[in-house]
Amino acid sequence: MQAVIDYLKQNQARFVGELCDYIRFPSVSAQAQHRADLQACAEWVVNHCRQIGLEARVYPTPGHPIVVARTSSSVSNAPRRPRFVVYGHYDVQPPEPFDLWTSPPFEPRIEGRSLFGRGACDNKGQNLAHLKAVEAYLKTGTDLPCDLTFVIEGEEEVGSGSLAAFLREHQADLACEAVVISDTGMPSPKHPALTYALRGIAAFEILLHGPARDLHSGIFGGTVDNPAMALCQLLAKLRDKNGRVAVPGFYDDVQPLSAYERKEMARLPFKETEYRKLLGVPKLFGERGYTPIEQRSARPTFEINGLTSGYQGEGSKTIIPAWARAKITARLVPNQDPARIARLVQRHLKSLCPPTVKLEVQVTRGADPYLVSPTGPQAQAALRALKAAFGFDPVLLREGGSIPIVNDFKKCLRADSLMLGLALPDDNAHSPNEKFNLDCFAKGQLMSAFLWQELAAAKK
């Protein structure tokens, strides 16, 4: 391993140059005028993979191409070794608004230990770190204890529309022990992190129909229910004063936080006053009995995303609205099932709805929550690799949002994902002046190098 570590150390300057080359492609997947840039970027990745000793090719899709690169042993007749997929994406967010960038987004600029450019941390720097680790193995002739397949797609920023079909089609080739993804974050350079859980989602629209049309509130007011008031009274009953979702059965399948998880979460840096100021709220509010970190990542929620009824314009209009609508999303945690939650919410709304209005509930979408046990052998292997590379005790993170591709990997490949993010909170992912910390880049390569040792030795 010392050869690998030395190789990485000695080649940092060249690696940074290569990352700059990678960033120069304006591979903006959301913008049709960049179609050729995405193709060119994919080809650059393929060539780069070949140069470092991988077998690589570009797979066209109905959208932007997917690059697949493998360590050659994985296609030979060598005895079966542990196999892992490394996922990344070469497409980037749109750079707009240009005027907020200090330097042009596709002309990488180094300042101190920061490399500025669109895609620097999301995700070019992070997937290149993994490629550099494998390069170090291959170029130093060090035995890589597992077979690796890199899947680097070009549609992550627009919903990964082609990925699931690609995974299903190449299911056998991509069979693996686990998927490794560096596309999340770490709280600080001293807090390397494993993200081991994501929340799911269940989305609804609730529509209450009242009178056949908006009614004059002077002529008819007092004799008919007001659907906006009925909706408020209905929704008001769905969250109690302790911040609990008041739908019978809602918490039935929630896997409680273990003492280990709560202890690990308590280690995360968090300053309530700063957080409150960041959000601009007069006071925080959440489910009683949980810390804000637990509330926003490990507990389910029921949010009204939008309310619409009656008159929205200037001044007043004296009507009883014909209807009132709420858009709702519930964030779900393991092992809540979006379909079951949708049924529970619908049933409860039905039981609460007064006979003076007509209820219509539309279930618009759902996504499963995700969890890989943080005490399992793969997670623990990842934590050891993080510690070895960064020199600090790693932290365990749950992400409050959803990352749909993780569910795709679970469904199509039946493999867990280890999320080992290298982005810092101030890296401006999706914002102007995106950057990547070059220490995170270097330590990410080291982490990847250690990871294959640790993972190959771990049980699935």
Pick the closer one to its own copies by CB: 114 or 297.
297
3-state secondary structure of 198: strand
**Of positions 220, 258, 266, 289, contacts its own copies by CB under 8 A:** 220
Closest CB 308 distance from its own copies, rounded Å: 5
Closest CB 173 distance from its own copies, rounded Å: 32
**Of positions 66, 152, 176, 201, contacts its own copies by CB under 8 A:** 201
What would the two tokens of residue 58 be?
A: 């570009």
Peptide bond into 305 cis (omega under 30): no
CA distances from residue 284 to 75, 274, 277, 329 in whole angstroms, order as listed = 54, 11, 10, 20
Q: What's the rounded Cα separation, in Å, for the pair 164 and 170?
A: 10
3-state secondary structure of 330: strand
Pick the closer one to its own copies by CB: 98 or 285.
285
Asked if 98 is part of the footprint of its own copies (rule: CB under 8 A), the reply reads no
In this chain, which stretch among 27-35, 38-46, 167-175, 195-203 interacts with its own copies, using CB under 8 A?
195-203
**Of positions 91, 399, 434, 454, contacts its own copies by CB under 8 A:** 399
Q: What's the rounded Cα separation, in Å, for the pair 377 and 379?
A: 6
Closest CB 206 distance from its own copies, rounded Å: 11
Instruction: Give residues 272-331 in contact with its own copies (rule: CB under 8 A).
Output: 275, 279-287, 292, 295-297, 299, 301, 303-312, 315-321, 324, 326-327, 329, 331
**Of positions 100, 110, 175, 236, contacts its own copies by CB under 8 A:** 236
Asked if 396 is part of the footprint of its own copies (rule: CB under 8 A), the reply reads no
**Of positions 14, 50, 263, 358, contacts its own copies by CB under 8 A:** 358
**Of positions 62, 97, 112, 218, contacts its own copies by CB under 8 A:** 218
Token pair 């099932």 is found at 337
Asked if 207 is part of the footprint of its own copies (rule: CB under 8 A), the reply reads no
Asked if 355 is part of the footprint of its own copies (rule: CB under 8 A), the reply reads yes
Q: What's the rounded Cα separation, in Å, for the pair 386 and 191?
A: 9
What would the two tokens of residue 265 be?
A: 């979460």
**Of positions 30, 158, 229, 361, contacts its own copies by CB under 8 A:** 229
Q: What are phi and psi of 354, to 5 degrees?
A: -70, 160
Closest CB 246 distance from its own copies, rounded Å: 11
**Of positions 39, 140, 233, 380, contacts its own copies by CB under 8 A:** 233
Closest CB 416 distance from its own copies, rounded Å: 20
Asked if 398 is part of the footprint of its own copies (rule: CB under 8 A), the reply reads no
Own/partner pairs for 350-357, CB < 8 Å, 24+ apart?
352/234, 352/237, 353/208, 353/230, 353/234, 354/225, 354/230, 356/210, 356/224, 356/225, 356/230, 357/208, 357/209, 357/210, 357/225, 357/227, 357/230
Neighbour-count burial of 391, counting CB atoms closer than 10 A to its CB (0-12 exposed, 13-18 middle, 19+ buried): exposed
Pick the closer one to its own copies by CB: 283 or 459.
283
Asked if 228 is part of the footprint of its own copies (rule: CB under 8 A), the reply reads yes
CA distances from residue 37 to 91, 142, 257 in whole angstroms, order as listed = 10, 35, 45
Closest CB 281 distance from its own copies, rounded Å: 5
